[in-house]
Chains A and B, each alone.
Chain A
Amino acid sequence: MNSLSRRRFLKLSAGTISLAAAGYALSARELKAPAEKKRGIQKIPTYCDICFWKCGAIAYLKDGELWKVEGNPDDPLSRGRLCPRGTGGVGAHTDPDRLRAPLIRKQQRGEEIWQEVTWDEALSYIAEKMQTIKAAYGPEAVALFSHGIGGNFLKHTIKAFGSPNITAPSFAQCRGPRDVGFRLTFGEDVSSPERTDIKNAKCLVLIGSHLGENMHNSQVQEFADAIENRASIIVVDPRYSVAASKAKYYLPIKAGTDLALILAWMNVIVKEGLYDKEYVTKYGFGFDQFASLISRNTPEWAYPQTGIEPEVIRETAREMARYKPATLVHPGRHVTWYGDDAQRSRAIALLNALLGSWGRRGGFYYPVSMDVPPYPYPEYPKPAKPKVDNPNNKYPFAHETITTGIRDATLTGSPYPVKGWLVYATNLLHALPNEQETIKAIQNLDLLVVVDVIPSEIAGWADVVLPESVYLERHDDLNVEWFREPFIALRQPVIDSPHDQKPNWWIAKELANKLGLSKFFPWESIEDYFRQRLSAGGYSYEALKKKGIIRGKQQPIYFDEGVPAEFPTPSGKIEFYSLQLQKAGFDAVPKFNAPDSGPPGSFRLLYGRAPVHSFSRTHTNRILSDMMDENEVWVNSDIAERLGLASGQYVTLRNQDGVVSTKIKVKATERIRPDCVYMVHGFGHTAKGLKHAYRKGASDAQLITRYITDPLMGGTGMNVNFVTLEPAEA
């Protein structure tokens, strides 16, 4: 095992100074001298970080070189099998475009001209700027954007510094509306990994959720189990997705009208008395008012909105009822679509409630976890000001911090100024809508620090860039997962970082030391931290190190296994009618408002995932880029013919605000409605350091200049942009 001790890091830091200002290409940092290679095959367990799912993995070294990564059979998430991104994990380590050394900006922000510095210089510079901001504006003026478990220690440093402004796009740009909709109904989140019992579902309903293209491993594995079990699958999507090709019913819905369909389904199930009456009577609150409010949402009412014929709506509603309570209407994950997302998610929660699937086998289980106490750190200082993102509780049901709220405060200085951003492992220019707003906000900052493994677009705008070790080279926090069975997983280094990259725990600890916060990191090495936490829970670090996973005893996860049917809502019941929504001035039962259909002759821009890429961060991984190195714009075949466009031809996309994309290949296909186009998210890189991915394909984020903010929780609905297509040079 190549353990990255602190002593070794300090040794590496010394004598690595270069003076010339340089772009990424001129990195003076040499490859480290190779350590002595161990002969033969070594297997080291860890957990994956190509996405955030945290699958247990086993890395194989052959004669000391990283060879391959496979699933860890002991891991409940991967069940011994990774997704293609995890299988391609070696490419993250070998990526020639990786950040290699700490960089400080030499010219204007965004010009990507840097000076390589030592870690000591970089961290001293950051700490000094943070102290200056703190002296002038208070510690709250420093915000942290952090995605994934890797950011845990940096979050700790920022809390110790005294700022409450810690956020991730995973709330307001992704799953937030879903969790709000379910909280308002059942009192609990869907959480991550989702508590969906897909493998035991007898009927599975996917609304825009494209499992199989979206490779959240456990869910895709369970989706295959459901197919094997001959579950009845209903897919609702403007695009004929991979999941649609597995469905008994494919409903080619008009984009933006899902809520109308869900209301009509509930109308049929209530009117025909097909709901789980015992469950609803026992656990429901406000059912009669709910039933009366949806009585006008008939299939005939929904038909002109959705384009789905009334008989199909009735037949699919009856199909769901036939298999209740083992009918799972999947809540989706990335659901920031139209600005009505929390209410649409609440409607999905209500439909599940009618079917009695919450707490039942084949519906939603109650996740369980091991008891591993947090490290006994000193108490954090109490921030003098509340969080900056949601002044006057404008979005009353936002239970996490709103990224775009922090961006607004940075732009306006209200409710108070934000002057420093630390950004960990999230490429904000691809994750947040309207990149120009983000760039304008950056201009108001006194400090922008980006910690990443690759020179992403957001890194290009930073004052200081800190190169992180990839997951195969570092420890991260313990994953004490909430899942269908309890377990603890360890991420540990399997190979050295090739240059001067460091793990986030080390960066966070050293930064804390420079900020005079060393008392918040009482442990010397991260292994001491693991030992302390695990022994406090009664577990052995040595055992975890060896196996990568410690599994706990199976516990009840359904009501009929003894989980108490408790709903932490104001009424203590499942809220069919929500008094808290009514009190806050919102619809107590979701109502449908038809979406804007866009300028004539334009197409609604939809986006999604490819199985071989994560976000915008895997396109320079040579193994994964070899699978897919550019995205395509999907255009309905008839439309393509009318426009004189053929598959393989390059076009640019122009949105309603005149923003023109980089060129992208056309995929003329029957698999999409004529009124939409679709592309895979994350391509069209413009950061110069991402040499292998530079200007390959187009970026949906660049075209998402408009968004509709969810009034309940501040999520940004992003499927509200429209484009036209123009032929481009090959």
Chain B
Amino acid sequence: MARFGMVIDTAKCVGCMDCVVACKTENGVPEGFNRDWITQDVAGKYPTLHMEIRSERCNQCENPPCVYCCPTGASHVHDFGGVVLVEHGMCIGCKACLASCPYDARFIHPDGYADKCTFCIHRVEKGLDPACVSVCPTHCMTFGDLEDPNSTVSRLLTSRKYHTLIPETGTKPHVYYLV
């Protein structure tokens, strides 16, 4: 069974937002909304500073609170790669999932359903990388099967230091940030 994950090298990411733009055009995300975004974490006092730049999105959690809290079953774990998806037709727009997500990864689409990153499952099914990964000019993003020890994502996670976002919530996120 595949388990898809994303590994993002924060040392290379310049926060240009190409991933955000690509997601919007690929997926027709309406104006004013986005499924991925850039965070710049600054620590220290000028001029002794450190900044981590991250391209963030739904963490495709192994332990997804958004799925557990969904009253209709619209939010579900797809059997291909464990990707968390929303069945638009079943969603009643109650926002329980928005409240449960520790990453603020979801929004209500103007058409009334909860929307978020799908890891571009429509592309992945055709053997393509998600749109954000495929356009990144710095090549800082890698997508693949975490269950396969020979995949690039697995190899990066065994050879580099990394962290995930808010791991203490116990969601087991599958977007990893190399430091």
Contacts and interface: CB of A to CB of B under 8 A. Distances in A.
A220 B18 CA distance: 12
A612 B49 contact: no
B138 A221 contact: yes
Contact of A627 (B11, B17, B134, B136): B17
A671 B137 contact: no
Contacts of B20: 84, 627
A67 B14 contact: no
B166 interface: no
Interface string A62-85: 000001111100000000011110
B44 A670 contact: yes
Contact of A88 (B25, B46, B49, B51): B25
Given A81-B137, A224-B138, A623 B44 contact: no
B53 A220 contact: no
Contacts of B22: 68, 87
A90 B25 CA distance: 8
A220 B138 contact: yes
Contact of B21 (A67, A87, A637): A87
A215 B16 contact: yes
A69 B24 CA distance: 12
Nearest to B131: A68
Q: Which of A71, A217, A245, A636 has most chain B Cβ within 10 Å?
A: A245
A252 interface: yes
A152 B20 CA distance: 34
A669 B21 contact: no
B51 A224 contact: no
B101 to A, nearest CB: 22
Contacts of B14: 211-213, 220, 223-224, 242-243, 246, 611
Interface string B120-155: 000000000000001111111000000000000000
B50 interface: yes
B25 A242 contact: no
Given A71-B135, A83-B137, A240-B47, A624 B16 contact: no
B39 to A, nearest CB: 13
Contact of B16 (A212, A622, A669): A212
Contacts of B15: 212, 242, 611
A250 interface: yes
A672 interface: yes
B1 interface: no
Nearest to A221: B137
For chain A, the bracket of interface size reads 35 or more
A315 interface: no
Interface in A111-135: none
B104 interface: no
B21 A627 contact: yes
A212 B51 CA distance: 14
Given A212-B15, A245-B53, A252-B47, A70 B135 contact: yes
Nearest to A250: B47
Contacts of B16: 83-84, 212, 215, 220, 611-612
Interface in B4-57: 11-12, 14-18, 20-22, 24-26, 31-32, 34, 42, 44-47, 49-53
Contacts, number: 120
A615 to B, nearest CB: 17
A523 to B, nearest CB: 35
Interface in A214-234: 215, 217, 220-221, 223-224, 227-228
A592 B60 CA distance: 56
Interface in A662-684: 669-674
Contacts of B140: 224
Contact of B135 (A67, A82, A611, A669): A82
A566 interface: no
A696 B117 CA distance: 30
Contacts of A223: 14, 138
A201 to B, nearest CB: 15
Given A252-B46, A623-B21, A228 B137 contact: no
A626 interface: yes
A217 B134 CA distance: 15
A612 B21 contact: yes
A82 B45 CA distance: 35
B49 to A, nearest CB: 5
Contacts of A243: 14
Contact of A227 (B12, B26, B47): B12
Contacts of A611: 14-18
Nearest to B138: A224
A304 B34 CA distance: 47
Interface string A239-261: 01011111000101000000000
A340 B24 CA distance: 44
B11 A246 contact: yes
B22 to A, nearest CB: 5
A90 B22 CA distance: 11
B44 A626 contact: no
Contact of B18 (A67, A82, A227, A671): A82
Interface in B46-75: 46-47, 49-53
B140 to A, nearest CB: 7
A636 B49 contact: no
A669 B43 CA distance: 11
Nearest to B43: A670
A83 B14 CA distance: 11
Contacts of B17: 84, 611-612, 627
Contacts of B26: 68
A220 to B, nearest CB: 6
A83 B12 contact: no
A96 to B, nearest CB: 11
A669 B24 contact: no
Nearest to B20: A627
B12 A224 contact: yes
Contacts of B12: 224, 227-228
B177 to A, nearest CB: 14
B24 A623 contact: yes
Contacts of A228: 12, 139
Contacts of B51: 240, 242, 245, 671
Residue from the set B26, B42, B137, B139 with the largest chain A CB neighbour count within 10 Å: B137
A46 B139 CA distance: 23
A212 B52 CA distance: 14
B168 to A, nearest CB: 26
A84 B36 CA distance: 14
A224 B46 CA distance: 25
Contacts of A70: 134-135
A241 to B, nearest CB: 10
16 contacts: A68-B22, A70-B134, A84-B20, A87-B25, A88-B21, A90-B25, A220-B16, A221-B138, A240-B51, A245-B52, A611-B15, A612-B21, A622-B31, A636-B46, A671-B42, A671-B49
Nearest 10 A/B pairs, CB to CB: A212-B14, A224-B138, A252-B47, A611-B16, A245-B51, A84-B18, A68-B25, A87-B21, A84-B21, A670-B46
Given A69-B25, A87-B22, A227-B11, 12 more contacts: A82-B135, A84-B16, A90-B25, A211-B14, A227-B138, A245-B50, A245-B51, A612-B16, A624-B21, A626-B31, A637-B46, A671-B49
Interface of A: 67-71, 81-84, 87-88, 90, 211-213, 215, 217, 220-221, 223-224, 227-228, 240, 242-246, 250, 252, 611-612, 622-624, 626-627, 636-637, 669-674
Interface of B: 11-12, 14-18, 20-22, 24-26, 31-32, 34, 42, 44-47, 49-53, 134-140
